Structure formats: C-alpha cells, structure tokens
Chain A
Amino acid sequence: MLELRNINKRFGPETALESVSMEIGAGEIHGLVGLNGSGKSTLLNILFGSTTIQETGGYDGTYLLDGRVRRFSSPCQAIRCGIGMVHQEFALIPEMTVAENILISREKGYPFIDALFPRQFSLVDRTSSAMAARQTLHRLNLDLDPDQTTGRLSMNVRQFIEIAREISRDDLRLLLLDEPTAILNTADTDQLLTTLRSLADKGIAILFVSHRLQEILQLCDRLTVLREGRVVSCCAARDSSIDTVTRLMVRESVVKVSRTQRHTDSPPILSVRDFRVRMAGEELHGLDLDVHRNEILGIISLSGHGKLAFGAGVIGQVPFCGRLRLAGEDCSSSPCAAMIRKGLFFLSEERSQLGLLLQHTIMDNIVFAALHHNKRFHHPHWPHWLQVPDQKAIRRHAEHCIAEYDIRCTGPLQSVGNLSGGNQQKVRIAHALTLSPQLLIVNEPTRGIDIAAKERILNLFLDVNHSEGTTIVIASSELDELKRICDRIAVLYRGRLHAILDPAADDLLFTQAISGEPVLQ
C-alpha cells in the first residue's frame, strides 16, 4: 500500500534521512525504531505532508501510496488520502473540550440544518458529538466526560485523546503513531496495543514508532531500524530479539545501571499531610508522604491515580490543600518562584508548553533557571546586581552538558524547537540538574528517550544523588527503571498512599499493590 524509495531529507547542512526505502502493506503493523535524532519523526512528517518539511526545503525521493506518486504540500491533502498521525508532541487544542478535539473537522451536525445550509455553516450538535466522542473513548477503554477542557487533563489521558481523534475517522487507511506509548504504563499500553491490533485486522496499515523494543516485538509484523538517518535493517519481528535490535541501533551493547549502595533513614526533607491536589484526571485525595533527605524515591501508580499530581502540587503549579513542610518549614502557601529559591525543582511530564523556551537556544535553556534563581553564571567583572551573564562560562557549561547527555545537535546555539523529541527531554534534564536543587521532582524523566540515553540519564541521577546529595523524587510508569535506581518506591492508589515497597520486592507484589490489593510488609 505504502512504498518509499530513496527518501532523502536535509535540514540545511544536516542530513536527517538518507536513501530510506520501505514498504507497508494493508493491515500490516510496521515498527520503526532508532536512537534519538535518528530521523523517525522526520520520516513520519514527510509521510503526513507536514509544512515544516516544505519550509525546510522539501525532500527527494519517491513516495507511492496505492501505486500513485504523492507529494503532499500540507497535512490536509494527506488526511484526505486517509492518513492519520498521532504526534509526538500532540496536536491537541488545550482550550477546547475533549469532544471538540476528537471530532475536529468532522463535527456532528443536526441532519435538518445540514440539509438546509452548506456544511460549514450548519450548527454543531453538541450532544451527538459528545456521544460519538464517548464511544471512541470507550473503544480505548477510557471513561471520560467529553465536555471538559483538554488542557487540564493529565498527559496520558491526553495521549489517548490524541489517539482517539485519529481512530474515530472512518476513512482511515494508514495510521502513523509517533511514540504513543512513551508515557503510558503497562496496563494502558496493553490496552492500546489490542486496539491497534483490531484496527490492523480491519485492513488499516500502521506505522508505529517507539523506544520500547519489547512492545515493538510483541505488536509489529515487521520492523525497520534507523541509524543516523539510514535504514540499517528491515526484518520480520518474529525473527529478531531485543538484543539484536539493540545492537543494530546502538552498535554497542547497553549496560544497564543500577543502584548499589542504598541510603538508610535520614530526616525528612519534605513531608506532606492530607495533601489534596485537584488536577483533572490525576487527583490526589489526601496523601501522607515523607521524602527523606538524600534518597531517591520512586512514585508509581496506575494512570489517573495521582502520581503526576504530586510534583505539580508541591511546586504550586496546581493549587492544593493540606500541609506541606519543606526542610521543617511550613510552606503551604508559597508561590512557584519561592519554592524554586528554596531549592526545590519540578520537571513536569509536559515539555512543549511548560518546560522549554522553544525559540531559544540550547544554551539559554540549560542555564535559564540557574541564572535567574541561583545567581550562577554571572559575569565576574561586573557588579553582581547588574546580573550580566557570563556568556563564556555559559557556553562552556552547555558544551559540557551536550557531551555528557549525548544531545544530538549542531551546537549550543541551535534552537531547541529544532531538536528531536528525545533530545529536547535531555535539554530539560540538563536544565534541572544545572540548577542543582536540593530536592528534584521529576515526572516521567525518560519519556521519549532512547535505550542508550536512558541509562546515561539514570546514571546521572545516581551521580548527583551521590556527589551532591540531591534528593530525587521520580514519578514514572516504568517500574523496571524505578526498581533499578530507587531507595524506596511509593505506590499510590486512588489518590492516596497505598504502600511503600522495597525496590527489591517481587514484581508480583508491585502488580498487586498498584492495582489496589492489600499488601503485607
């Protein structure tokens, strides 16, 4: 159905894709894997006719859909040909409701008015739109009020809405999925994979990008491995193993880090009592939790049970009720900036809106908080109060970070908006660790990060925890990661603390605790 021949794409002097050829048949699920910046999103954007591709000079090569040569100049044309795409950074409109987002450009109308007026000028039927949206969400096993605003929902719910928008289309023939599972936990992922399987059985071709090799091997019929913009392998998923694919992607094997020495009890640096956060879709209903100094604490829960709300509530991004003590001091009503100055920092799971200055350079992004809150990187020759930044030191630091985090870019002056999704995430982590806070709360730190860089970043967390004594709280849906680096893992259920488990505990025990069954300690 889809055939690509010798696709080349350059961004200025940089080559993003080099003679990429592949074929996908109807009803096939095709996996696409590769390290951060290997050109996966770029390939999907070409297939979808994104305007960024046009603006950066187009591409060379032949793109055949059903045997006809295509060259889309805008996504509208691609959509008309039955192509749908789930975007890495989402294409949702946060101010609009869930139903409006799912049915955008396919809104349901009243039959009578539709007959009377041209399509564009006929009234939108809110109830039947909401009903259609609800049905689509049911196919994804999600029970959600379709009339609420999308912007306040948690990221994994938004991910499902983004998927629902595409699968609600009747004319869908080719579905492009760019890292749809990056922030989903195992249960949600399984749900999604079954839905995708049933779509493929109906004859829809699916191109699936992910960094989790396991699910790729489980779901896909065939897979293509990209390395630095080139196809290095294309094989049936049945014939490959995680090991062989890893070696193809990275060239070397990946050593998994894990924590060796664990901290024993120390006094709490942060303690919350009866902590309630009203973050839609991810509420906390009275959490009691102590975070000890110098430890790495993992937080895990099913989606919607509150793990993402903890950080947002503590930093004050979302209002909370209850008591919060930071280093023995009551901070129940401090604004965000004050909390940052007290040595607290929070990296939310959402990067495009809240975490990055997309137009600015990598350099500016990395030092931003440190420059403004920590008074670091000030020019030594100027009086301090003038706050003249020391560009040389900043540049040196940025170059150091780029090497250390393995950020694939053209240099510290490239703007962050041009980086691939995983590399943007690395910039954010560099930003947070540059601030060297006493307590760092991170949501989904390895979202969209490839297998090699993930180990690097986990290792860095262990490093700063060891050398600078930074306390780290990680809310993640990847149990495996948490088990490897945490001292304790808190399991939340229905917005409350359900259990605190030892990372060495059995997987089965975790599964039970996460699903709310009582555990004995």
Chain B
Amino acid sequence: MESLARRCNPVTLLFAVLSLAALSVSGMRPAFVCNEIITRFIRDGVMVLALIIPVTAGMGLNFAIVVGAICAQVGLVLAVDYQLPGAESLLLIAAVGVTLSVILGYFIGVCLNRARGREMITTILIGFLATSIYQLVFMVGYGTIITPHNTEMMLSRGTGIRNMVDLQHFRNLLDSIWLVHLGEIEIPLFMFLVVCGMAATVKYILHTRLGKHFAAVGFRGDRVELLGLDSSRIRIMAIVLSTVIACLGHIIFIQNIGMLNVYTAHLNTDIFSCAALLAGGATVSEARVRHALIGIVLFHTLFVVSPQAGQNLFGNPALGEYFRSFVAYGTIAVALVCNLQRRGADGILNRQKDRDR
C-alpha cells in the first residue's frame, strides 16, 4: 500500500482525478472521447517520446524539439512545391526532415554542451530563434531567393508562402491503412502500431550500450570523463536522436491533420509534449516510455473534454479553452517545483529505490 502511494506521482494522480471529473461533467459520449483520444495518441505520441532520451541524459526537457518539427515542415513545403504524389512525397519529406534534423540537432548539441546546467532555458531560446529564422525564410526568402515551382501555394504578392497549405495528396495517407472498426470506435491499426513501434525503439535505445551511457551522463555528468566516456559526444547523440524522433513525430502529426499551417503548426508542440510527459509521472531527471504513454492519454483526455465541461459548468466554452493552456503550463510549473524539492541526497535515494523495485 505504502509503495503504491509512493509510486503514484501526485501530478499523475491529479490528472486522473481531473480527467474523470471533467469527463462526467461534460456529459460527452465515451465512444466519442475514446475516438478523439486514439486520434491524438497517434498524432502526438511520437513527439512526446522524443523527449525521453534527453531527460535520461540529464539535459532536462528538450524544448528544442520544435526544431525537429520545423525540419519536418521544411520537408512538407518542399514536397508540396514539387507536387509529388503521396508515397513519394512521404519519402522526400522523411529524407529532407531527417537529414536536416541530424544537422540541426548536432548544432543544438554543441550549444548545449556550452551551456551545461542551463539546458532547459537554452533549448527554449533555441526554439524561439529557430522559429523566427524559419518564418523569415518562408515569408521573405520564398519567391525572392528561392524560386517556387508551385505558384498555388504562394501569396498573391509573389513572395512568401500562404498561411495555409492544403496537403490533399498527403492527408490521412497513413491513417487509412488497416482501419479497424470496433463498434463506434475506429482504430487506425497501422499508425497505432507505428507509435507503439516507436515507443519500443526508444525503450530499446535506452537499453543499448549508448542508452547506458546516456544514463551515466545523466547521473554524473562530471565523472563520466574519468570512466573513458566522452560526455560531450554522448550528449550530442542524445539531442540528435531526440530531434530526429521529433521530426518523424511531426510528419505523423501533419499527415493526420491534413493541412499545414506553415507559420504556426509547430508552435506549441514543445509545451504540450512536455506537459503530457510530466502528466504521465516523469520528472525533469527521470522519464520512461511508460510515463510518455500514460501521459499522452491523461493529458489529452483532459484536453478533449475540458471545453465541453467548461460549457456545461459555466456556460462558456472559452473558459475551457483557457483551461487547456492553464493545464499545460500548470503541469510544467508544478512538476518543476516538485522536482526541485526532491533534488539532493534525498532525491538520489528516491531514485535508487525506484530502480530497485
């Protein structure tokens, strides 16, 4: 009993209670909520998984997964520009996105090695910087320096891409494979397996030699050099892997939505992913695949039902909208505070106990 109480993270517990309460207040049909959660699980799952490796390597939450998302969007815009058919465009997007995210991930890693101990704030700022460069390129660069092939996606003035780009070749390309119906519930089995496969891959990486080295760097970054591990290289690897996974996650996200909001689609991915991970019981220094999976379900349950619950309780759906961002930022803040308290010798012992179990 006692161990159960200790195992339950207070944040997770709070989320579970809030979700259930909001679900009952909203009066939404469970089948509908279920469908929504499955959609979102597939849409956002991989993105959350991208956060796990940097946390293990002791770098905290990697808010720079935005950069991975940007890489995916660059690939998408190119695919639309060259007007490729579905499957080929997918290959192009993946190739461009992964290559770009390996390169950018490397540079982020180098930056973070210079900002040891302040990784989280650095990744936030890197995210902002990357967003503005990206917006600049596509708002001004396209049509002036870069010649577009597909004029349909350009703004009428000739430079800059339209705000919304329709991805008709691409929409639900993957979601429609192996669609299974269970009564009212609709499961895109293929994509579900892809997300689970990604989770398994992350888990596998954590159990490889590299994964053990990530953990060693995460626990004692100052000592591993003495053990013959190159901590800078290992940290760069962590960030590169994280960025690549984030890029793949964003491709899945966009193909599920079917529209590309060129300038804003990537904007909140980092905050929502971090909040979901923390809701699942992860901390800034420890995250597991299980936390990510639980977290996505809990966080998105609350996300789906809260506007309706707001409508029913206060007669105002905007309140629910407001509640969403409150929940996202609130989780991060609470989890950070809880974390700081558990640091120190006490924290080490707790972590040991967790591992022993």
A95-B208 contact, Cβ under 8 Å, with A50-B226, A75-B228, A79-B228: no
User: Contact at A95–B227, with CB atoms within 8 Å?
Assistant: no
Smallest CB separation, A410 vs chain B (Å): 23
By the criterion CB–CB under 8 Å, are B208 and A122 in contact? yes
Which of B95-103, B212-220, B325-333 contacts its partner?
B212-220
Residue of B nearest to A318 (CB): B349
Q: Which of B174-217 contact A (CB under 8 A)?
A: 204-205, 207-213, 215-216
Q: A122, B209: Cβ atoms under 8 Å?
A: yes
Interfacial chain B residues near A105, Cβ < 8 Å: 213, 227-229
Closest approach, in angstroms, between the C-beta of B175 and any C-beta of chain A? 30
Asked if residues A91 and B352 are in contact (CB atoms below 8 Å), the reply is: no
Q: Mask for A119-153, Cβ within 8 A of B = 1, else 0?
A: 11111100000000000000000000000110110
Tell me the bound Cα distance from A107 to B310 in angstroms: 54
| Interface size class, chain B | 20 to 34
Question: Which chain B positions have C-beta within 8 A of A119?
Answer: 209
A96 at the interface (CB under 8 A from B): yes
Q: Does B356 contact A (CB under 8 A)?
A: yes
Asked if B219 and A76 make an inter-chain contact with CB atoms under 8 angstroms apart, the answer reads no
Which residue of the partner chain B has the closest CB to A120? B210
A386 within 8 A of B: no
Least CB distance from B353 to A in Å reads 9
Within 8 A of A (CB), among B338-357: 345, 348-349, 351-352, 355-356
Contact status B355-A74, CB under 8 Å: no
Residues on the A chain within 8 Å of B348, using CB: 94-95, 151
The answer, yes or no, to whether A244 is at the interface (CB within 8 Å) is no
| Contact in complex: A95, B351 (CB < 8 Å) | yes
In contact, B230 and A149 (Cβ under 8 angstroms)? no
Known pairs A107-B212, A123-B204, A124-B207; A75 contacts B226 (CB<8 A)? yes
Whole-angstrom CA separation of A51 from B224 in the bound complex: 11
Q: How far is the CA of A79 from the CA of B210 in the complex (A)?
A: 18
A338 at the interface (CB under 8 A from B): no
Partner of A87, one of B205, B212, B224, B226: B226
Contacts A51-B225, A149-B356; is A93 near B208 (CB within 8 Å)?
no
Least distance between B237 CB and chain A CB atoms (Å): 8
- B212 x A124 contact (CB < 8 A): yes
- Residues of B within 8 Å of A148, CB to CB, are 356
B223 at the interface (CB under 8 A from A): yes
A179 within 8 A of B: no
For residue B223, give the distance in angstroms from its CB to the closest CB of chain A: 5
Q: Which of A76, A96, A122, A151 has a CB less than 8 Å from the CB of B225?
A: A76
The answer to whether B356 and A93 have CB atoms under 8 Å apart is no
CA distance A51 to B228 in the complex (A): 12
A122 to B212, CA, bound (A): 11
- Interface residues in B212-248 by Cβ distance below 8 A to A read 212-213, 215-216, 219-220, 223-230
CB-defined contacts of B213 to chain A, threshold 8 Å = 105, 120
Residue with the highest number of chain A CB atoms closer than 10 Å, among B215, B224, B227:
B227
CB atoms of A96 and B219 under 8 A apart: yes
Q: How far is the CA of A88 from the CA of B46 in the complex (A)?
A: 44
Please give the residue numbers on chain A whose beta carbons come within 8 Å of chain B beta carbons, in ascending order.
48, 50-51, 74-76, 79-80, 85, 87, 91-96, 100, 104-105, 107, 109, 117, 119-124, 148-149, 151-152, 165, 353-354
Q: List 20 A-B contacts (CB under 8 A).
A: A50-B226, A75-B227, A75-B228, A76-B228, A79-B228, A80-B228, A91-B226, A91-B227, A95-B355, A96-B212, A96-B219, A100-B212, A100-B216, A104-B212, A104-B229, A119-B209, A122-B208, A123-B207, A149-B355, A353-B345
Closest 7 CB pairs of A and B: A79-B228, A91-B226, A120-B210, A95-B219, A149-B352, A93-B220, A93-B219
